[in-house]
Structure 1
Amino acid sequence: MQEHDVSWVRTEMALAQPAPRTETGLGAWVRKNLFATPVDSALTILCLLVVAWGLPQILSWAIFNAQWTGVDRTACLTVDQGGELPAGWSGACWAFVYAKFGQFMFGRYPIDERWRVMLTAAIFVALLAPLLIPSAPFKKLNAILFFAVFPFVAFYLLVGGFLGLPYVETSLWGGLLVTLVISYVGIVVSLPLGIVLALGRRSRMPIIKLLCVVFIEAVRGVPLVTVLFMASFMLPLFVPPGMTFDKFLRALIGVALFASAYMAEVIRGGLQAIPKGQYEGADSLGLGYWQKMGLIIMPQALKLVIPGIVNTFIGMFKDTTLVLIISMFDLLGIVKQHLSDANWATPQTAKSGLVFAALVFWLFCFGMSRYSIYMERRLDTGHRR
């Protein structure tokens, strides 16, 4: 047999080499993401020109020419005496936001009892943070405390009226407190109720399916303002005589039911995206209906519709501003209410108050959006290359 020369065969693994300098670092990132094509380059330059034109004016209004301290509107009337801003512009009046910050956060909640709101917020953050961290231990116990125990603790702290805490009427609540309470209740209720409604709409039992379809389409067919009006003024007509519901509780019920109908359609879309083979595989294992849904189908469906779920949460968070229609003052409502204060009524205070409210809403919505993107990437295990 003829012998072959194998001197060219490598006998040792080659050492890993660093990536070329042109493919790493800030310069490579800028070239790939901002100047990859002529169109990208043109758009990047255009955006830089817009930023260069607008950013100095925004900084001048929001920081350099802003008024940070003061006891009434006269402090803000002296802004922009140097004429550094364009005609029609004036510096921000953050003194108004500082003076009204307590009302923006708590509404007319008694000052001596605001520690209860802050304690509730601290407990909320302490329970929510471990849930958002995938590597945190004791997830089941944490979830039970957050979803089952915390609502009762929060009710006791915020409302009071027993065990030594003074009673605080919900009509005194306002500001960010109302926004967060309505959002929390809406999220906690809408997700499980939306799952039940989505499963009911896909049920083979005609009566269950009909009831779910009627509820979903009826709620989705009217605006949230109508639902709030019905919950506030018509719901008391359906309860026994002498029984009353707190107005805030009625608003919570209306928002939760409204969000549940939209959530049901989002989850139904995820259920329809699951291949038929997953259902058949679960049936072949002898799993019952609830085992099949809870262990096989629903986890996959929820993973697919994370963007839709978070989008519903964000929309609901912003829709809390509509409770102003039924004389409840959330963050935006309380800001608009204080704009009519004669001691602060100036165009500068109006702009500053509305910008402050917009910034708070944006921070919460942006946080939810970024976390949903993080969870999508973490759970995207079935399509990795």
Structure 2
Amino acid sequence: MSDMHQHSVAYVRETMLPEAPPPAREQGIIKWMRENLFANVPNSILTIASIVVIYYILAASLPWLLNGIWNAESIRDCREILQGAAGGCFAVLTERWNQLLFGFQYPDDQYWRPLIAFLLLFVAIAPVMFFKYIPSQFLLFTALYPFLAYWLIWGGLILAPIVALVGFVVGYFVWGRLVQRSFATGFFGAVAAAVIVWWIGGLITAGMDPEQAMLVPVASRDMGGFMLNLILGTVCVSLSIPIGIALALGRQSSMPIIKWICVVFIEFIRGVPLITLLFVANVVLAYFFPPGTNFDLIIRVIIMITAFASAYIAEVIRGGLAALPTGQYEAADSLGLDYAQAMRLIILPQALKISIPGIVNVAVGLFKDTTLVSVISMFDLVGMIRGPILASTEWNGVYWELFGFAALLFFVVCYGISQYSQWLERELTTDHK
């Protein structure tokens, strides 16, 4: 009996075995490939087909890139150097980089001005984009940047941007004093005060000698290249977001006049192509001003592009407002908040968070649509390529290199905007899973 019991008891190990490495197929690159590239038969077929396509693309493009010519004075010199071999003529970029970036009329010795304005742009938008990590005191420079950037790029008397800044400051203080009576009183009082300051400042600057300017004046017609796309994109996106918010709120207003003004504006602008609005800015607007009035073309284009983008952003934000449950509005009412406080503290923060993908989509599309100004004879990046550069005898026939460079610049900017929006969504998330 004892022998039977002795043989029926299993052996129990008292010490642990040393850890063994996982199988090769369950770790490292092999595991990643199994899970992402060869998880099943359809995925494996798609992976193999993609590898074949990538191979043929690289086989055709790499020799053209690696054998590219960077030092030549014309396309004929590139062809003589290549001797029939595959290779890109990238010398056009080294020869005409200044025209591609700044246009062909911006003074060569003043390139440092838009470069400084571009670098300061990152300093100015940092407190807005990374508000959780940068103190709010830096927003003062953000408010000053538009006037500083205008003076750097356009030059002229520094008194002009100072007068513009003073007008906004006076309007802000008038708004703060009168808005307690009513919104309309504060708004129209602020506008009137700012206009008076600008009118007085215009009279003062008109009597000053332009030769006293610290920076050489540069006319808007001399702006061009990618610099013009950045100016239009940055200014129009910055203006269209607050205007779009106001239009979205106005469309939901209980006051019929304000509601229908916003509805008519949004539906009309959304029903008209942007290129039509640009032609209106270039030709038609001149008929609405007194004879001899010189209204800057860039300002006219900014007005039209901003109006176009504002209508689309207004609809995006209206969708965010509609997505909020009714309980949020009721919660604001239960706290005793008025309309302005409820929108600023409860409703708009949530609606804007929901609307981030749509707003970014409009912003990216708007920045790319700035190339349409080339159809009204404004020499932006695409206008420079299609006009002075390809029309020259030295580089007539160079297409892939120039348009590839333009595509690269726009991709870097648009991809950066997209990545920032995804980061911002992660920062603002309140879901804890």
TM-score by length of 2: 0.78
Structural mapping, 1:193-342, within 5 Å: 193-337=243-387, 338-342=389-393
CA contact (8 A) 2:247 2:262 kept: yes
Question: Which residue of 2 is the match for residue 7 of structure 1?
Answer: none
Partner residue of 2:98?
A: 102
Tell me the distance in 2 between the aligned counterparts of 1:130 and 1:30: 41
Cα distance in 2 between the residues matched to 1:275 and 1:60? 58
Aligned residue for 1:137?
134
Alignment of 1:40-119 (within 5 A): 40-62=43-65, 64-78=66-80, 80-81=82-83, 83=85, 90-107=86-103, 108-119=105-116
Contact 2:309 2:362 in 1 (8 A): yes
Structure 1: distance between partners of 2:358 and 2:310: 13
Residue 178 (structure 1) shift: 0.3
Q: Which string of whole-angstrom CA distances, capped at 9 and with x for unpartnered residues, describes residues 292-334 of structure 1? A: 1111111111111111111100100110011112211111111
Partner of 2:39: 36
Please say if residues 117 and 152 of structure 2, whose CA atoms lie closer than 8 Å, have aligned partners that are also in contact: yes
Q: CA deviation at 1:130?
A: 5.0
- Consecutive unaligned residues of structure 1, counting only runs of 5 or more, are 1-16, 84-89
Distance 2:26 2:427 in 1: 26
Superposition TM-score, scaled by structure 1 size: 0.87
Of 142, 146, 149, the residue aligned with 2:144 is 149
Q: Indicate how the Cα distance of structure 1 residues 270 and 207 shifts in structure 2: closer, same or farther if over 3 A, else same.
A: same
1:36 is paired with a residue whose SS is: coil
Q: Alpha-carbon deviation of 1:287?
A: 0.9
The code of the aligned residue for 1:266 comes to V
Distance across 2 between alignment mates of 1:106 and 1:66 = 24
Q: CA deviation at 1:281?
A: 0.9
| Residues 69 and 75, structure 1, Cα contact 8 Å, conserved in 2 | no
Structure possessing the higher relative contact order (Cα contacts under 8 Å, 6 or more residues apart): 1
**Secondary structure of the corresponding residue to residue 264 of structure 2:** helix
Distance 1:40 1:376 in 2: 31
Describe the SS at the equivalent of 1:109.
Answer: coil
Work out whether residues 228 and 380 of structure 2, in 8 Å CA contact, stay in contact via their aligned partners in 1.
Answer: yes
One-letter code aligned to 2:392: D
Contact kept? 1:65, 1:79, Cα under 8 Å? no
Letter of the 1:99 counterpart: E
Counterpart CA distance in 2 for 1:128 and 1:24 is 43
**Cα distance in 2, alignment partners of residues 79 and 60 from structure 1:** 15
Distance 1:23 1:91 in 2: 44
Counterpart CA distance in 2 for 1:144 and 1:46 is 55
Whether contact under 8 Å (1:79, 1:91) holds in the other structure is no
Q: Say if 2:410 is the partner of 1:361.
A: yes
Q: How many Å separate the matches in 1 of 2:148 and 2:131?
A: 25
SS in 1 for 2:87: coil
Q: Deviations over 1:319-354 (max 9, x none)?
A: 0011112211111111122111111213xx222111
Q: Which residue of 1 aligns with 2:229?
A: 179
Number of residue pairs matched by the alignment:
357
Deviation at 1:282, TM superposition (A): 1.0
Corresponding residue for 2:186? none
**d(CA) in 2 for partners of 1:53, 1:95:** 26
Residues 285 and 20 from structure 1, CA distance in 2 versus in 1: closer, same or farther, beyond 3 angstroms?
farther
- Name the % identity: 45
Larger radius of gyration: 2
Which residue of structure 2 aligns with residue 378 of structure 1? 427
Paired AA for residue 76 in structure 1: C
- 1:79 and 1:41 map into 2 onto residues whose CA distance is 44
Measure the CA separation in 1 of the matches of 2:26 and 2:352: 37
Query: Measured at CA, do residues 132 and 38 of structure 1 come closer, stay the same or move farther in structure 2, by a change above 3 Å?
Result: farther
Task: Judging by fraction of residues, say which structure has more helix.
Answer: 2
Separation (CA, whole Å) in 1 of partners of 2:413 and 2:378: 21
Q: Give the conservation status (yes or no) of the 8 Å contact 1:270–1:305.
A: yes
Contact 1:321 1:332 in 2 (8 A): yes
Identify the residue that residue 156 of structure 2 maps to in structure 1: 161
Calculate the aligned-residue CA RMSD, in Å.
Answer: 2.1
Post-superposition Cα deviations, 1:128-160, rounded to whole Å, max 9, x if no partner, equal: 34544455321x3334422x2111111111111
What residue in structure 1 maps to residue 172 of structure 2? none
